[in-house]
Amino acid sequence: MQPQPADSAARSVIDIAKLSLTFETGDGPVHALSDIDLNIGAGEFVSFIGPSGCGKTTLLRVIADLEAPTGGTISVNGMSPHEARLARAYGYVFQAAALYPWRTIAENIALPLEIMGHSREDREERVRRNMELVDLDGFERKYPWQLSGGMQQRASIARALSFDPDLLLMDEPFGALDEIVRDHLNEQLLKLWAKTDKTVVFVTHSIPEAVFLSTKIVVLCPRPGRIYDIIDNPLPRDRGLDIRETAEFLKVAHRVREGLRAGHSYDD
């Protein structure tokens, strides 16, 4: 089941045109992002991949209104990122789980709901549903420090999903986990995406992860941070871990690697 171009064009979630972001530092300006053009349609799973310093995380932060662009235009759900944030349009998953140690897992997942003023019954119902979604049922009353790193990150995904945003922004969420746990979580994430049809934007520096998860892969390169290549992933939406052994998978991975190699300057 391929994503239909007409459909995604009709329901575009993120529109970025000529976007740039320059940091002023003591050593002169740093061009973190320059001349970014990108459209992300509803229901897509888009990965940003690139070496460190290419601006992939910065781009995600711009979408989330955690960073302000210095040029160009960007809209999220047809609004400015700032309005979108105030409208609680997206859930954000950070590199670290960032769960509060003084709250139980259930209370952590209820945190955004409390802030957004949901009723107690609604909170309990949503917490239950989302804990089931990430396979954490039974751990409601545990504290984060009693859980493994993988379980903590799952809880943080449940927290991001608890208020049911259409858009999920994930910044290297599995970067700190070992490969076995990571494979398992990747598989779970795909299932979750299929079940909820959210739009996901996913930052990673792992080629297999990007190819395995995405419908679209955006390759970025540094100095200045810019898009080098956008690859539409031809793999079927419904995929298992074995797909990583297929020739088609390796072909896409090869194209990503070529892009990363070409975009990277080895002058330093």
Partner 1 sequence: MSPVTRILSTLALVVALMGSMLTVIETPIMTLGLFALPVLLVGVLLSILVLAPYRTGLLSGARACAALTGVSLLMAVALLGTVSTYPGAASHGFWAYVLVAWAMAWLSVEELSGLMPQSPLGQRLVALAIPLSFGVWLLILWQLAVVGFGVPRVLLPAPSEIWLRLLSSPQILWEDFRQTFLKAVLIGYALGCGSGFLVAILVDRVPFLRRGLLPIGNLVSALPIIGVAPIMVMWFGFDWPSKAAVVVIMTFFPMLVNTVTGLAAADRIQHDLMHTYAANYRQTLLKMRLPMAMPFIFNALKINSTLALIGAIVAEFFGTPIVGMGFRISTEVGRMNVDMVWASIAVAALAGSLFYGLVTLIERVVTFWHPSVRG
Partner 2 sequence: MTEAGTFQTPSRSPFAGLMSGTAGPVIVVVAAIIAIWYLAAVLLNTPFQRDIYQRGGIENPPLAQLVADTLSQPRPVLPAPHQVAEEIWKTTAEKSITSKRSLVYHSGVTLSSTLLGFIIGTGLGIALAIGVVHSRVLDKSLMPWIISSQTIPILAIAPMIIVVLNAIGITGLLPKAMISTYLSFFPVTVGMVKGLRAPEAIQLDLMKTYSSSTAQTLWKLRLPSAMPYLFASMKVGVAASLVGAIVGELPTGAVAGLGARLLAGSYYGQTVQIWSALIVAAVLAAGLVSLIGLTERVVLQRMGMAR
The site for partner 2 (CB under 8 A) is made up of: 23-26, 61, 66-68
Select 44 or 65, whichever has its Cβ closest to partner 1: 65
| Phi and psi torsions of 129, nearest 5° | -60, -45
96 binds, among partner 2, partner 1, none (CB under 5 to 8 A by kind): partner 1
Least distance (Å) from partner 1 to the CB of residue 167?
A: 11
Query: Read out DSSP for 25-49?
Result: ETTEEEEEEEEEEEEEETT-EEEEE
222, 12 contact by CB (below 8 A): no
111 binds, among partner 1, partner 2, none (CB under 5 to 8 A by kind): partner 1
68 binds, among partner 2, partner 1, none (CB under 5 to 8 A by kind): partner 2
Select 22 or 196, whichever has its Cβ closest to partner 2: 22
Asked whether position 98 contacts partner 1 by CB under 8 A, the answer is yes
Closest CA to 170 of 198, 212, 211, 135: 198
| Phi and psi torsions of 28, nearest 5° | 95, 175
Which residue is associated with the tokens 């229901």? 43
24 binds, among partner 1, partner 2, none (CB under 5 to 8 A by kind): partner 2
Q: Which stretch binds partner 1 (CB under 8 A): 44-52, 87-95, 183-191, 226-234?
A: 87-95
34, 226 contact by CB (below 8 A): yes
Other beta carbons less than 10 A from residue 100's beta carbon: 11
Which conformational region is residue 59 in: left (phi greater than 0), alpha (psi within -120 to 50 degrees), or beta? alpha
The length of the chain in residues reads 268
218, 227 contact by CB (below 8 A): yes
- What distance in Å separates the CA atoms of residue 203 and residue 93, rounded to the nearest whole number? 10
Select 23 or 100, whichever has its Cβ closest to partner 2: 23
Q: 100-119: which residues touch partner 1 (CB under 8 A)?
A: 100-102, 111-112, 114-116
Least distance (Å) from partner 1 to the CB of residue 98?
A: 5
Q: 143-162: which residues touch partner 1 (CB under 8 A)?
A: 143, 145
Closest CA to 198 of 6, 45, 9: 45
Q: 42-81: which residues touch partner 1 (CB under 8 A)?
A: 64-66
Select 100 or 137, whichever has its Cβ closest to partner 1: 100
Q: Is 126 helix (H, G, I), strand (E, B) or coil?
A: helix
Least distance (Å) from partner 1 to the CB of residue 111?
A: 7
Q: Which stretch binds partner 1 (CB under 8 A): 6-14, 15-23, 95-103, 239-247?
A: 95-103
134 burial class (0-12, 13-18, 19+ CB within 10 angstroms)? buried
17 binds, among partner 1, partner 2, none (CB under 5 to 8 A by kind): none
- Contacts with partner 1 by CB under 8 A lie at 64-66, 85-86, 88, 90-92, 94-96, 98, 100-102, 111-112, 114-116, 143, 145
